[in-house]
């Protein structure tokens, strides 16, 4: 009986260690995406101001969401930028 408790305790400890590891990986990925998103929004804002276009947060958010998805799919920064710029221009008549 004592060995069964010990085994169950070890299984429980291992479960929490593995669960914690996956949570850390998920949080790290989320933080990277949010940092990338912050840079994207800031860059978008600067580009809009340079072009004398009123900055709208909704447009920036949608464009940066597009960028993140495309970058993950293509692994190309430039392809993601080009595609999302075109989509944003068409969708919002810019």
Whole-number pLDDT of residue 32: 54
- Helix or strand (DSSP H, E) at 76: none
C-alpha–C-alpha distance, residues 61 and 81, integer Å: 14
Burial of 93 (0-12, 13-18, 19+ CB in 10 A): exposed
Percent of the chain with pLDDT over 90: 27
Which structure tokens are listed for 75?
Answer: 């692994």
The CA distances from residue 54 to 3, 37, 58, 60, 89, in Å, are 69, 20, 12, 11, 14
Q: Where are the domains of the chain?
A: 2-92
Q: pLDDT tens digits for 56-79?
A: 999 999 999 899 888 888 888 899
Average pLDDT over residues 5-13: 67
pTM for the structure as a whole: 0.62
Q: What is the C-alpha end-to-end distance of the chain, expressed in Å?
A: 73
């Amino acid at each position: 009986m004592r060995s069964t408790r010990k085994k169950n305790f070890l299984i429980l400890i291992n479960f929490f260690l593995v669960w914690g590891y996956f949570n850390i990986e998920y949080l790290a990925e989320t933080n990277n995406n949010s940092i990338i998103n912050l840079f994207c929004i800031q860059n978008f804002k600067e580009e809009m101001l340079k072009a004398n276009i009123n900055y709208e947060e909704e447009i920036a958010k949608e464009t940066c969401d597009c960028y993140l998805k495309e970058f993950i799919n293509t692994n190309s920064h430039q392809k993601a930028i080009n595609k999302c710029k075109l989509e944003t221009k068409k969708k919002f008549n810019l």
